[in-house]
Amino acid sequence: MGNGTQLGRVRGLGAGGGAVVHHWWLQRVTAVGSLILVLWFVFSLVRLPSLDYASAVMWVRQPIVAVPLMLLIVSVFWHFRLGVQVMLEDYLHGSKRVIAMLALNFYTCALAALALFSVLKVALSAAAG
Amino acid sequence: MASRPTVQPARPLSPHLTIWKWRVHMAVSIVHRVTGHALAFGAVLIFAWWLAALASGPAYYRFFLDIVLSPFGAHMGSGIRHFIMDAGEGYDLVTSRRMAQATFAFSILATAGLWAWILAGGY
């Protein structure tokens, strides 16, 4: 507009138009989320009496487990998608990068959907099994 | 301008692994990237598979555990074969063949042993 501060006038006008900062910030946010949730996940698995089917299902079925597990899936998958994107941008150019980014998005979304659906199926199915 | 080369010489790609002197900071950075991608395409895949196996029922879950735990035995067995061959031993045809067979036998036995231990309540 011309009347803002100097900082206000240039903000968001970098090479990525703000998308780069957004990418950087989301990678940090998901890093913190993943750090907490993965530590919780690993310690919980180690503390389980057994990893057999019955114990694992009983563990995942609790809301206090299923909800953080789904948050973990979102945080970790989002985080690695952003990280792999940086690698692709470093090493691939032109159409190869576009194809690789598409493949990365499909891989991430398909796997995340499978993981989330699996948690829901176990958590919401009747305790009869 | 007419003499400008049309073919670009190959430029080093980021992060310039081949031209910088190795220092611990660089190693940490590279290990961060390598392990991150190993997690993204390895651990995450196994994690999602574990959840899907859990959702598929006990029979498939058992099959999943069989498959996932077998590489530990397999890689350990063939790794010991590598140690022996690194030392310059066992290159004659008969020994070489026997060691390769023993590697597979060890893999199967180690996997079965690990499983016996898990099912016996060791884990």
Residue A14 pLDDT grade (very low, low, confident, very high; cuts 50, 70, 90): low
Contact criterion met (CB < 8 Å) for B54 and A53: yes
Contacts of A52 in chain B (CB under 8 A): 118-119
For A34-91, give the DSSP string: HHHHHHHHHHHHHHSS--SHHHHHHHHHSHHHHHHHHHHHHHHHHHHHHHHHHHHHHH
Measured CA to CA in angstroms, residue A35 lies from A41, A76, B33 at distances of 10, 9, 16
Nearest beta carbon to residue B61 from set A53, A84, A121: A53
The architecture of the domain spanning A6-124 is Up-down Bundle (1.20)
Closest CA in chain B for residue A42: B47
* Angle subtended at Cα A62 by Cα A47 and Cα A112, rounded to the nearest 5 degrees: 90
CA distance A8 to A10: 6
Contacts of B45 in chain A (CB under 8 A): 111
Most confident of A1-5, A34-38, B93-97: A34-38
Which tokens is B55 given? 């959702």
ipTM of the complex: 0.75
pLDDT tens digits along B16-25: 667 777 777 7
CA distance B114 to B70: 9
In angstroms, what separates the C-alpha of A20 from chain B's closest C-alpha?
18
CA distance A90 to A101: 12
Kindly tell me if the per-residue pLDDT of B123 is higher than 50.
no
Name the average pLDDT for chain B: 77
Contact criterion met (CB < 8 Å) for A118 and B13: no
